[in-house]
Amino acid sequence: MNYRIPKVQHQINRILSEVLLKERDALGVGIVSINDILVSRDLSTVKVLVSFIAEVNQQKAFQKLLRNTNKIQTHLYKNFPVKKVPKIIWQLDNNPDAAYRIEKILDDIKSTTGEDRDISSPGADGEEYTDSFTS
């Protein structure tokens, strides 16, 4: 089995996530969610399915992203250590289930970051946590 394509997908996801997070103000887009990455067998193109979180007009935000494709592609060329860097093809993912799932995850993260958890509090099964290394 060829493991190269999943490795390439992972690397591209990492690089694109980094650039979209760090350069989002310069690019003029809000929070971009990369929902999926599909790399062609010959590694010549990569289709990136994106959605925008907390954007009223997804299509307008997508057009901004398309206008900045050259900047993002250049960043990929500089940071992707292969001879043949795939060309990025953006696709807006209009799947409402995925957007809802992402928003729910973000809400869950917000609600848990404010709470301080005590290690000695009872676990899910009602038993108290005890440290087996202390005597």
Give residue 99's pLDDT. 62
- Beta strands, E only, 1-135: 31-39, 45-53, 87-92
Query: What are the backbone dihedrals phi and psi of residue 24, each rounded to the nearest 5 degrees, phi first?
Result: -65, -35
Residue with the two structure tokens 């960043």: 75
Q: What is the pTM of this model?
A: 0.67
Rounded distance between C-alpha atoms, residue 37 and residue 34, angstroms: 8
Spell out the domains of the chain, with CATH numbers in brackets: 4-113 (3.30.300.20)
In this model, does residue 125 exceed pLDDT 80?
A: no
In the structure encoding, which two tokens stand for residue 114, read together?
Answer: 């404010």
17-68 pLDDT, tens digit per residue, is 999 999 888 888 888 889 889 999 888 999 999 988 878 888 898 999 999 9
Q: Which residues contact 128 (CB under 8 A, 6 or more apart)?
A: 120, 121, 122
